Each structure stands twice: as C-alpha cells, then as structure tokens.
Structure 1
Amino acid sequence: MTRLFVRLPLLLAGLLMFMQVQAGTPAKVREYHLHIAEQPVNITGKALPRITVNGQFPAPTLEFEEGEEAVIHVHNDLKNQDTSVHWHGLLLPGYMDGVPGFNGFPGIPPGTHFEYRFTLRQHGTYWYHAHSRSQEQDGLYGAFIVHPAGQQPVATHERSERDYVVMLSDFHDLPGEQIMKNLKKTAEYYQDQRETLADVWRQIQHDGLLSTLRERADWNQMRMLRTDLADVTGYTFLVNGQPAASPWHGEFRPGDTVRLRFINAAAMSFFDVRIPGLDMVVVSADGQPVKPVTVQEFRIGTAETYDVLIRPRNDRYALEAESIDRSGFALALLSNGKEPAAPIAEPQARPRALLTMADMGHEEHSGHDMATMNHAAHNDHHHDEHAHHRMAAKQDEHAGHHPHQGHDIPVSGWADAATPDGHKMLQYHDLQSLLPQPDQRPPARDLVINLGGSMERYIWTLNGKKFTEAEPWQLQFGERVRLTFVNNSMMAHPMHLHGMFMQLENGADAALLPNKHTIIVPPGQTVSALLTANEPGEWAIHCHLLYHMSSGMMNKVVVAQVSEENPTEHADHHHGHHQKPVTSAAPLINPSPAHGREHGNQIFHSTLADLGLYQNEHHDDSWQGEIESRIGTDENRLFIKAHGHQEAGHDANYDALLLYSRMHSEFWDIQLGIGYQERELLQQEAAIIGVHGLAPGFIETDLHLWLHPDRQAITLEAERDLLLTQRWITQPYVDAEYVLNNERDELRNGLSELRIGLETRYEISKRIRPFVDIAWTHEHEASNTKAEQQWQAGLGLTLLF
C-alpha cells in the first residue's frame, strides 16, 4: 500500500501528459535568451576576463516544468570564438544536444545566435554548459531545473518548503586553454602534492625497508604517482559562484524540509560533501528519482547531480564540499535567518588518500571499485545478485576506522574518504530506482570500453584511441547492450553519455537499477551499465574531466536512425520534438577537423632554456647552457635543441640537433634527424637516430646515435627528480658521449665526455627555477688524447616558456 501511494502521483502525472499528447494539446512554451560574452570577473581579488551569460558568472539557473517546450535563444557575443551549449542529462533530439560536429550541429559562430527548441520529457536536477574549447571552465555553466508537472513532488516523501540549487565548481586564475597548454608542457606542472624523500623515510619506518622498496619499485615501473588524485591544482572552489570568503547563504525556517540540488559543475574536481551535524536524505541521482537513502556525506564526481532533503534543527550549519585531493573546500552557509551571513572558518582537511596497487588493479579483491561486476556469465539475467559493490563494503569499513586520524597522515586507496566512525557515506550500491525500469531485458551484447591514458604525455583514450583516431560505435535503435568500463589508468573517470540514461549495474534487481548519465569509474576498476538505445542520433560519450576530454578521451555512439519510409516506429516517442532528419546509419567520420582540434589533435609547443656559471677546484671559470624547443601534436613533434659549454682556456663546444620525434609507445618516442657538432678539432654534420622518453624509475632519457662516415658516437642524457619539498627538488643526472669509431684518430675512440652531477633547484614557479649544481666531468683535451677530470660547482637559472 505504501508503494502505491509513493508511485500514484507520478502515474497520474504521466497519464495526464499522455492524454494531453493524444488530444493534441500544444505544450506550453517557456522561453529564455542567453547572451554569451567575455567580461571581467573577480573571484580571487583580481579582475580576470572570463565568460559570462547575461552578465552573470556562472550562468543563470533555467527553470521549467515537465511537458513544457523549452525555447532557448543562445547569442554568441564573443569576439573570436565559436560557442555551443549542451543540456547535460536531458533527453532531446540529437541536433539540439549542442555538441559541434555531432548530428550536423556546427556550433554558434561569433556574432550569431542559435535557437534550441525541445519538449521536456523528464523532471529533475540537470545543468548546461559549453561544449566548445575550455569555455565550461571559464564560466559557461549553469543549473537547469525541470520541476514535475504542476510543481508537484514525485512522491510524498519529497515534499519540501525550501528548494535550493547548490552548484559546486572550480575557478582558476588561468584561463582553461592555458591550463591545457601547461599540462602539455610537463606532466608535473600542477603536481604540488607529490611525495618527498621525507615521505619515503616515513614509509620505511612504518612498513620496513624491503616492503617499501618493493612497492616503490612497482610504482617506478609503472611511472605512476601514488598522489595523483587530481591533475590540476590551484583552484578556488565555489558554491553558486561564491568562494568561502563570501559564502553563498541559504535560509530556512524552523520545521522546514529543505531540498538541496547538488550539481558538480567543476571542470576537474571531485568533492566529498557533508553538513556536519545534519543528516541528508538522498532522493535523486543524476536527476532521476531514487529510493530515499539517509547519509552523513557523499562523494560527487564531476558532472553528477544529487538531490538531498535536510531537516535542520539548529540555527546554523556549514555546508562543506572538500576536494578529494584535500587542496581546499567549497563552503556555504545554511541558517534560520536570525543571524547575518558571516564568513565560515575553513574546516580542518581530512587525510588525503594515496593510491594503492589495488587501485591499479594489481591485487584481487581490492575492494575499491564503485560498482565492480562479476561478468563470468554475461548472458545470465540474474548475474547482478553477485555484483556487489566491493568498494562500498571496503569504504564502510574505513568509515569506522578514522575517529582520531590526523589530517596530515595519508589514508590508503582512492575510495577512502576518511569518513568518521559511525557516519554513513553514500555508495553506488545504495542507489535504487524509485520506479521499476521499463526495460528489464538482458543485454544482447557487450561493448567494452577501456579507459587509458598517460600523465607523462597527458593523453587520454578510449580503447587505446583518441577521439581523432576512433571509429564511432554503432548501435541499432532499440538494442539492449551492456557498457563495460574498464579503467586501466590511475585516475578516476566520470564517464558521461549524452542523450540517454544508463542503468548502473550495482547489485540491485534489474527492475531497480538506478538511471545514471554519468558514472564514476575508479582507478584500476571495472564498472558496467545497461543501455537501451532508444534515442536515435549521434551521441557523445566521454570522460567529463574537461582536460581528459580535450586530450582525446571521447567517442561517438551512433544509434541507427529509422528511415523516413517507416517513421512510425518512434514517432510517438518523439512527439513534439524538432529533429533534423538523418536516415543513414552509416558510420560517420570522427570528427570534423575543427572539432578534432579541440579533442586530441591540437598543436602545442614549449621551450626550456637554462644557463649555468661554474668554477672548478682551481677557480677556473666556465659556462654551460642548453635550449630545447618542441612543437607538434601528441604523435608527431619537432625537436630543436642546442647545447654549448666553454672551459677556461678553451674554445666553446656546441651541439645542435633538429629531430623529428614520433610516438612509439606510451613512454617512448623514436627520433630521426640531423645534428651538428663543433669542437676545437672537430666540426661535422651527422645523421641522428635515437629514442626519447621516460624510463622505469621516472628517468628522463635521451639516447642518440650520431652517424658520420668518419665518426660514429653515442650520446646519453639521463636525469631523475627527487623531491626534498614541493619546491626544493634535487636532480641526479648523467651526460655522456662515447665514440664508437673515429676514422681520423682511433686513439680518440671510447669515452669522450662524461658529466655526472647533482642539480638542486628551487621552483619559484614551474616557469622560473634557479638552481645550484655540483658535477664531476671527464673529457679529452682538445689537442691530445689525455683526459681531463675536474669537479665543478655553479649557479644557474632555468626558464620554461
């Protein structure tokens, strides 16, 4: 009987809408105009050019009722950028989905406007954002709220007196495109929480020397960092566009039930959300109603939404959303209005997690995946009963083991939020659809999607290919498939599917699987979802970490259109929608050239220059300098490199190289080119073949063979960073040249030059790095075969452009 009363309002609303459609009643039109422009925005104390919508940062909230026809005029007032708007989580015709290069949608050029028009077939908490360049990071995002028809709640337990949007986001002082360029310059550009030598020593004391060495050897072999929870740091976290210094404020009255609509509109950040002293009842996930779940906190991935109900008892509460790398908080205030809004003291940070071998999938029964499935028998319709949420069980264990954990002591595993003893954190396995799923068929086939990437190159892929290389995935209209996301990387990926809802396989009965448009796939784990391909069109599927998508972690799902000769098969399903006719189900080229340049086919460049002044033990002066420029795509780059040094009493020596560099594997390039060497008794050009990359142990390596008819030699450059602090970094290095054959003077065969040193730098920023250096050198004198050996010490400066 209780279930009947819970479902009755929704059933009646659905019946009413059906009757209206059958009777041909026109849908009510609700219209908005959005003007997209660039204006100064001051979040962190200085005005910065950012994107605004109708003069607001972030964009205004749009509100509708289910069944209405949304007409949204988007005006591009930007001077030199195309733009677009994607309606995240909404069911609509493909042409209205707002992704340039999909369904014939070209984007919105500067000085023009585009009319989005679609009928709202759902209710819930959604959002909208740009799908062009990095405009989402720069401010083009806002809430999109669809109320049930007549503003009536879906079920009685959802009734509330107050209703607030709580939109979480991350603001950076640099524009998004510059962040992307910096990520391509060096993998460590934003890594400011790496482990130091002191951390290694603490691990030795805790785990023992042999255990520590074994674990470090594993990480060094993989060239991955245990601290790599977030690719970008330096964010200021916001609630509804406001920082903690001037927090957003929501009011309530005694006895109120308050609905909070959480939207993670961040570009790159996950948050652990809590309201200390107050329970939250989760009633919706990704806009879709779920059975109520009472929690004290939840983790919200990028692009996810959760609706919660709270019933405040005290006068004032702080709403805390802590980034999972523990670099900061988004804070807001909830109060009864009796006290004026005031700044909130930033809470003590929870312990930050360190990734484990289990997170990398290198240990059975790791207990850290959000909805890992056992697919030993994919055709078994009842396999879900074995599909327990192993991360949830492990996380519940953790939840009771951190009552006195110090904030500076790391915890183990991506899933460990250091939840206090007795507190409940929401898990994916807690989610159950409020209403039965209409399609409970077993899947006819599996689509396995391998999530991969490389922090070293900052390349992210689906099934080993970037968007610019991949062929679209073809589905037939009405087909039931399983999407199996296999995360082979060290990062969690929020995988978002446009245009359709997936049913997350989380251990619930088939009828109660929750709908999700975005699914978090933890590092090293496998998560699966069922999909009914009932929305014809071309739909983007991608990681919703903005710079992962921009690096290529995206593809196209093509649901075969029904031909115009037989349109009745889905005419009712799309009543009142505006869809450009597309009758061919043939694969489309992925992607358009312009769109490809935004998703993995960009051209980047960087230049690194350093100069050092030295003295040897005899107080003789010398100098040494190097400049290296790189330009190209991920796969094909041009290296231009020059090196020079001069010892007291000798002429300067120079090397210059021009190399074509082709990616061979995740960590290695093959290089071909030409070089020039100038010594006192040697001036020659030579062909060069070699390798450039990252060897196990994070050793940056350049190995080249110089080929000249009269002289063949091998050169080696190798270096490795060791962190004293996040800014003080010491770097052992080796530079060497070995002459294989010198036709002109066989006595000069063998080791020609060797430099072994220890350079210690201080990073004022990643771009400015003064250093001190001490080195031992060995080289032939210019005039004879006698070798000269000496110690040198010096000061210098490195610049990154």
Structure 2
Amino acid sequence: MNSLTRRGFLAAGAATLASAQLPHAAFAQVTPLALRATRRTLDIDGRAASVLGLAGPGGQGLVLDPDQRFRVDLTNDLDMATIIHWHGQIPPNAQDGVPDMPMPLLSPGETRSYDFQPMPGTFWMHSHVPTQEMQLLAAPLIVRSPEDLRADRQEVIMFLHDFSFKSPEEVLAKISGGTAHGASTAHDMTGMGMMQSMDHGTMGGMAMDLNDHDWDAYLANDRTLSDPEVVQVERAGRIRLRVINAAAATVFWIDTGAVEGRLVAVDGHPVQPIAGTRFGLAMGQRLDLEIDLPGEGRAWPILALREGAKERTGLILAPPGAKVARIAPLAQADAPAFDTDMAQEVRLVAMAPLPDRPVARSQMLMLGGTMQPYLWTINGATWGDHQPVIARTGERVVLTFHNMSMMGHPMHLHGHVFQVVGLNGRRVSGARRDTVYVPPMSMVDIALDAGEAARWMLHCHHMPHLATGMMTEFAVSA
C-alpha cells in the first residue's frame, strides 16, 4: 500500500478515495466528475459476493476539495433503474434523489447531471430504493474544509455495512414474516407513556427488539475481520477517522480500544469535543473522531461492535513494521444496547447552534410499530396513507419524535439540517444533524428552519422499516 502524507487522504482497499487522484484544478472544476452506479464482486470470508457500488474517479465514492461544487454526472450502468440520494447534503429538491419526488428513477444506461454547492463534512450517498441499498449501492461523500487541508493529520474513512448472501427480497420476506431474530413477541406499545431507563436488552421488564436479522457478515470498507483493511499510519500521528454507518439495519459502537478518541463532529457538523473510547452511531449517521496515536510501534485496531450482540468488524491502524494480529469476528461478550437512556446524545453540543427565533409551528410525530405483524408507522400511517407534515419556507419548526415502539428509529429528514433541542422533555442545545436516533419509549425534539418549498422525505433509516412504509413527507410551501 502506498503511504500518503498525514496531510493526504488515506483510506485504502475498497474505500480508496486518494485525494492524489483529484486534480487541484478541481477548485475551478469545469468538467463534471463521473460517478457510476455499477456492479462489483467482493470476497467475503472466502466467498464471492456480487454487490452494487458507486464508482468515482478514485474508487468507491467521492472526495471534494474546499469550495469545489458538487458537479457530478451520474451514469446508471446497472440493468435496473436506480436513483441516488446525497445523504445530509441540501441540493435543490429536484436533485435530492428520491423516486418521483420529483424526478423519476434513472433508466439503465441513463446519465443525469447534478450541480450544487455542498456543505463540508462527512456525508454519504446511497440508492433510495431500499433493496438496492441493502446490496451496497452506497459510498462515502467527503467534502473537505480549508482546515482539513491545513491540518497535520491523516484522514481515514470507515464505511460500515451489514451484508447477506441472500437477496434483499428474501431478507425482507424473512424479517417481515415474523421469523426474524428477536421477533418472538408482538409489542403494541400504543398509549404506554413509559419513559423508564432501559438496560441491556430490556426496558421496564419488556424485551427490546434490537436486531431484526442476523446478517451473514458485517463489513468495514467492504471487508470483514478475516481480512481487514490495514491502514498505514505514522507513529505518534494524528488521525481524522470519518465513520459512516451505511448498514441497512444495524447500530454499531465504534471502539477505539487502547487509544482514546475525541468525537469532534456528528453527521458532518462540529460538536464540542468529547473524549472516550466507545461511541455509538445508528443507521445513516456519521461520526468524526480525532485520534492521537502513541509513539509505540504497535497496531491499533478500530472496531465496530454490533449492538446487543457479539459480532464485530473494523480496520487496523498500523505504523511501519507493526505486527498485525488476527482479531476474532466475535467478541467475548455482547455489546450493550445503544443509547437507550440517551446518555451519548445528551452530551453532544453544537459548535454552531441554530440562532434563537420564535417557533412558528410545532408538531408531534408518533413512531409506532410491531414485530408481528411486521408494520412500522408514523402517526399511525404508512407511506401512501400518510398525512404530510407541513410548514412554510423560513418558518422555525419544532418536530417531536415520540417513539412508542420497542425498537429504536434513526429518523432522517431530507433537505434540512436540524438541531436536537429536547430529549425526553429536557431542553438541550444539542448537535446539528440530519439523522437522529429515537430510542424505544423516548421523545426527541428537533428544531429547524423550513427550506425550499417542495416535498421533502422524512423517514426511518432502518431499511426494513422504510420498506414496510415508515415514511412521510415534510411538505414546505412558499
């Protein structure tokens, strides 16, 4: 593996996004970057797997320089129609990448052009067809800031997936048929105002449903721990680790092991730094960790632990000459459930909070559902029977997600950045985000300023929940 400088960008293997391959004339980029939805083959624990991908000029995904426009020609090289969503970015609504809201899917062979000014930070892009995202039609989208170029640090991406050798249709049929892992009892929690704290796997004596499905593999940069990516690093160097949870239905804990990390951004937006060795992120969310490596010549594993289970994946940071030991794909003990008491979310404080303004409109969104029958709803309705959430451009809006189900829901709003302002009724000046995790039997308030007059998707980022209708729209009028 070629070693890049700490000022360079290093994320080798399947997630190679070496900035060396991006011309610096890109600052005044005239020619659009080519991005292709394509098929590729991975080696997963010695077995060939046909998956989908998004191939940019330097490998899977895109890296943009400061002030570089998102000027991209997306070509569909697949034998099926697709559409790509630029998760967390705020393009014009016509470029947001949701089927028929307002643009149709791209036909096989079709090319569509995109052009907007992106926000800096750690983002990603993925198909907005749930079965395609479950086939790994997703990739990093990194927009660097001037500080990223100045800083004496090495950039590393950790792109997480859950994977099945079965087709997404088979996986969804198994999950929704009630035979999925953890689907032993139906929990209809409607009307139960229980706000007790929950321990590992239980809440008020009732079982939480942490995992819908036992996947065949858990991937970091398209690899398992049987053959993890080994990233060459300098001794005593500083790392900016950009972690993206692109999994369909798995919450992960990021465990930095023997070296402490500092959480400096979530969903691409800076937060007041928090030190620690374990940080959680739900589907669709991102974390940026700064890690100052010790001067020892040993390898430093960075692991992603599946919540409520022993499975894990990860990558290894290795200075020259370091011995890289094999890491078992199963831990000795189950990782805990993620943030059931919102202990992580409550510590997050935005570096650039929303300015104070009177709230023009507020609305409660009830998140409900059961494992049997497998049905997930917003305000009691699935997509197609939904009542849009409405606002006018420029209004300050507060939305309250009230989760009355026994599963957590990562709620993602398109076309907007919001701020977390309340957790179980406690006011906070929380993180700015585009995807917030709402634990079972919990309430989260978010504040935002309504943007472009258009229909914007609002949905759970747990793919089987989305596929069964846990979606509504944020309809903004002029």
Could you state the TM-score of these two structures normalised by the residue count of structure 2?
A: 0.84
Q: How does 1:63-78 map to 2 (within 5 A)?
A: 63-78=63-78
Q: Secondary structure of the equivalent of 1:187? A: helix
Give the C-alpha shift of residue 340 in structure 1. 5.7
Please tell me whether the aligned partners of residues 316 and 334 of structure 1 are also in contact (alpha carbons under 8 angstroms): yes
- Give the one of 133, 138, 160 matched to 2:135: 138
* Structure with larger Rg: 1
1:645 maps to none
- Please say if 1:554 is aligned against 2:471: yes
Letter in 1 for 2:239: V
Query: 2-side partners of 1:346 and 1:150: how far apart?
Result: 36
Give the C-alpha shift of residue 47 in structure 1. 2.4
Q: Deviations over 1:238-280 (max 9, x none)?
A: 1111111000112221221111001111111001111111111
Query: 1-side partners of 2:31 and 2:261: how far apart?
Result: 32
Q: Deviations over 1:437-480 (max 9, x none)?
A: 3x311322211111011211211110000011113222100111
- Give the one of 319, 343, 347 matched to 2:326: 343
- Give the one of 160, 180, 183 matched to 1:189: 180
1:241 maps to 222
Q: How does 1:754-765 map to 2 (within 5 A)?
A: none
- Please say if 1:488 is aligned against 2:471: no
- Give the one of 356, 359, 366 matched to 1:450: 366
Letter in 2 for 1:127: W
Distance verdict in 2 for CA 1:348–1:54, change over 3 Å: closer
Letter in 2 for 1:146: V
Please tell me whether the aligned partners of residues 30 and 64 of structure 1 are also in contact (alpha carbons under 8 angstroms): no
Please tell me whether the aligned partners of residues 227 and 354 of structure 1 are also in contact (alpha carbons under 8 angstroms): no
- Give the one of 349, 357, 362 matched to 1:432: 349
Please tell me whether the aligned partners of residues 391 and 475 of structure 2 are also in contact (alpha carbons under 8 angstroms): yes
Please tell me whether the aligned partners of residues 312 and 331 of structure 2 are also in contact (alpha carbons under 8 angstroms): no
Letter in 2 for 1:534: G
Q: Deviations over 1:556-602 (max 9, x none)?
A: 111114xxxxxxxxxxxxxxxxxxxxxxxxxxxxxxxxxxxxxxxxx
Please tell me whether the aligned partners of residues 369 and 377 of structure 2 are also in contact (alpha carbons under 8 angstroms): yes
Query: 2-side partners of 1:337 and 1:78: how far apart?
Result: 40
- Unpaired runs of at least 5, structure 1: 1-25, 154-158, 196-215, 220-224, 356-366, 371-391, 393-426, 562-801
Query: 2-side partners of 1:501 and 1:130: how far apart?
Result: 20
- Give the one of 123, 126, 131 matched to 2:123: 126
Identity of aligned residues (%): 29
- Please say if 1:275 is aligned against 2:242: no
User: Whose relative contact order is higher, 1 or 2, with alpha carbons under 8 Å and at least 6 apart?
Assistant: 2
Number of equivalent positions: 432
Q: Deviations over 1:607-651 (max 9, x none)?
A: xxxxxxxxxxxxxxxxxxxxxxxxxxxxxxxxxxxxxxxxxxxxx
- Please say if 1:545 is aligned against 2:462: yes
Letter in 2 for 1:51: L
Please tell me whether the aligned partners of residues 485 and 527 of structure 1 are also in contact (alpha carbons under 8 angstroms): yes
Give the C-alpha shift of residue 27 in structure 1. 5.9
Distance verdict in 2 for CA 1:48–1:161, change over 3 Å: closer
Query: 2-side partners of 1:92 and 1:510: how far apart?
Result: 30
Please tell me whether the aligned partners of residues 63 and 144 of structure 2 are also in contact (alpha carbons under 8 angstroms): yes
1:255 maps to 236
Letter in 1 for 2:73: H
Please tell me whether the aligned partners of residues 36 and 75 of structure 1 are also in contact (alpha carbons under 8 angstroms): yes
- Please say if 1:95 is aligned against 2:94: yes
Letter in 2 for 1:124: G
Please tell me whether the aligned partners of residues 36 and 52 of structure 1 are also in contact (alpha carbons under 8 angstroms): yes
RMSD: 2.8
Q: How does 1:601-680 map to 2 (within 5 A)?
A: none
Please tell me whether the aligned partners of residues 448 and 484 of structure 1 are also in contact (alpha carbons under 8 angstroms): yes
Which deviates the most, 499-508 or 168-177?
A: 499-508
Distance verdict in 2 for CA 1:133–1:511, change over 3 Å: closer
Q: How does 1:557-596 map to 2 (within 5 A)?
A: 557-561=474-478
Distance verdict in 2 for CA 1:327–1:513, change over 3 Å: closer
- Please say if 1:329 is aligned against 2:312: yes
Give the C-alpha shift of residue 38 in structure 1. 3.2
1:85 maps to 84
Give the C-alpha shift of residue 346 in structure 1. 4.0
Distance verdict in 2 for CA 1:454–1:29, change over 3 Å: farther
Q: Deviations over 1:17-45 (max 9, x none)?
A: xxxxxxxxx96446322222334433143
Query: 1-side partners of 2:137 and 2:170: how far apart?
Result: 17
Q: Secondary structure of the equivalent of 2:171? A: helix
Please tell me whether the aligned partners of residues 446 and 482 of structure 1 are also in contact (alpha carbons under 8 angstroms): yes
